[in-house]
Amino acid sequence: MFSTVCSKRPSGLDQMYSKYAILVNGLTSKSDYKHIFKELKKSLERKLPDYESFETSLRKMKYSKGHTKQGRVISYLFERLENHMSGTNEILLNDSSLEHIYPESEGKSIYPDFFDSLGNLMPLSRELNEEAGNNPVQDKIDIYKRSRYKLVEDFLAKFNIDWGSEEIESRQISLTKTSWDMLMKPFA
């Protein structure tokens, strides 16, 4: 995920895994296994980006009719966040689409730097997204309330119908921090 979000090359990872696989293959004691896996963890940590690089990369990710390339990565990130927030790994967002909270049709001219950013996007079932359409945010709230996604519940709990650049930025920061914490948890 880090290499995808931060556009980092995974160079050297294959060799690293191969090296540690060979080392593990000949081990017999638990303490040796622990030692090798501790070394592997340290090696992997050195490949991780810092928070600032991660945040900058997420800010650059865009999704709109004109920028669809990163939609799959954003959808995957939302899937991971959804599973993290629900405490399970059973949610697959295959049946969802990316909803522009502030309508894409108006956002391009009013919030050109924000309308297609992570902070203004949310997973929503295709049916609910179609129903929400390009309506104003206040008209979408009742539609959002019918969603079963934790990310949508979180949005409804934290934000109200006054949705503009400050709220989009606040949500961007919150999603970035939550994503970082979730992805870094195995390395804590």
Q: Where are the domains of the chain?
A: 13-47, 61-187
- The distance in angstroms from the start CA to the end CA of the chain is 17
Nearest to 79, CA basis, from 55, 95, 64: 95
CB-based contacts of 154: which residues, under 8 Å, 6+ apart? 85
68-81 confidence digits (pLDDT tens) = 788 888 998 999 99
Q: Helical H runs in the chain? A: 2-5, 13-25, 30-47, 51-60, 71-86, 104-110, 126-132, 137-144, 150-158, 165-184
For 33-56, what is the mean pLDDT? 86
CB-based contacts of 89: which residues, under 8 Å, 6+ apart? 83
Longest dimension (CA), the chain: 64
Nearest to 122, CA basis, from 145, 155, 157, 80: 155
148-167 confidence digits (pLDDT tens) = 999 999 999 998 778 988 99
pLDDT of residue 8: 62
Angle at 185 between CA 82 and CA 121, to 5 degrees: 30
86-140 confidence digits (pLDDT tens) = 888 777 777 789 999 999 888 777 888 888 999 999 999 999 999 999 999 999 9
Average pLDDT, the chain: 86
Instruction: Give 158: exposed, middle or buried? Use CB within 10 Å, 0-12, 13-18, 19+.
Output: exposed
Q: Is 171 within 8 Å of 103 (Cβ atoms)?
A: no
What is the 8-class DSSP label of residue 93?
Answer: G
pTM: 0.81
